[in-house]
Amino acid sequence: MKIDSEPRSFRELFPIDGPMQYVVPDYQRNYAWKEEQIEALFNDMSTEDDGYYVGNLLISEEGSFQNIIDGQQRLTTLNLMLLALFERMLDKTNDQDVPNDQKGKLFQDFGDIKRRLLLDEDTFEPRLKLLKKDQEIWEKLVKILDEKTNLPSNYGRFAFFKRYKYIQENLLGDLSAVELHNFYQNKFMPLTLLKISVPDLNDAYQVFASLNSKGLPLTPLDLLKNMYLAQKGTPDKWMELTEVFTDGDNADKQKMTRFVLNSYDAFEKKSASSLTKGKIVKAYQKLFDKYHAGYIDKLIERAKIYKTIDSDDNDYDYNLLVCQ
């Protein structure tokens, strides 16, 4: 089996010219991401360092056709975001309050976006080809790139269209002309995906099964555990921390991740910016190097307090007067 893998920026995956087209095969499911998943991706893109790694893209190649085996939900979301950026930029170029020099940058940006999204600018054929149900709406949506097209009024009932409007109105709606330009150039274009290419579908299935059924990738929490144990920490102490966030058999890793982010922001950070998921490991590496295994006791103490704040109990009530 021949497998090629290399990190690629979004700029490289969706070039401004050439015949490359990404195709969602018929056996795949339709677009299914919810608003929460889209917002989480957008927030990570906005807050993490430039070149943020957003996941894998597994494809089987047939000439210029890139059949998407894994990663179509993320890739579709990014295309929806890119089109929404175009529409918001277009709005700003028609705004009399936006200075001409800023408008000039936006004109360059959305000319660039048009070429990345379209395989053929004359026929408006998208570079991303989805399943039939989604493709019908997608082909209509990209007509926004024509700058004159009005979309059918009944599209509001389709989930695919709703996701687009959510991005356009809720995530990008408050960004200024400068912020739109900076987000596109500094956050969107450098995004990194690990492109994994295999020559045929059988090989693709084997790789897909390996990626999805032989264990999950290491999370920041896994790496924090390894750091702690490397400082001669005991597994029992780490388990004590984990059990603070355990209800039943499994620990709530999302809540535990929120805790390590908030604990750092509250007690350790030296700058105004908040810790992000992508920076957890580096930040806590310094703390474990400084305080060694004993730092776990501070985390356990803070976690017990934090649990009462980040609670799923709707009846939670706390009187701040007791703190006086």
Q: What is the pLDDT of residue 278?
A: 75
Pairing of strands 21-23, 128-129: parallel
State residue 320's pLDDT score: 44
pLDDT-derived band at 203 (thresholds 50, 70, 90) equals low
Q: What value does the mean pLDDT of the chain take?
A: 86
Tell me the three state secondary structure of residue 149. Answer: coil
In the block, residue with structure tokens 């050439």: 18
Give the residue-averaged pLDDT of 145-161.
Answer: 78
Are the beta carbons of 277 and 261 closer than 8 angstroms? yes
> Percent of the chain at pLDDT above 70?
87
204 and 198 Cβ atoms separated by less than 8 Å: yes
Task: Identify the residue with better confidence: 122 or 278.
Answer: 122
Burial 272-306 (b: 16+ CB within 10 A, else e): eeebbbebbbebbeebbeeeebebbeebbebbeeb
Spatial CA neighbour of 26 closest among 65, 76, 67: 67
Domain ranges of the chain: 4-213, 220-323
CA nearest neighbour of 74 among 109, 41, 46: 41
- Residue in 198, 193, 226 with CA at minimum distance from that of residue 210: 198
Mean pLDDT of all residues in 167-176: 95
pLDDT band at 323 (very low <50, low <70, confident <90, very high): very low
45: pLDDT strictly greater than 90: yes
Question: Per-residue pLDDT for 269 more than 70?
Answer: yes
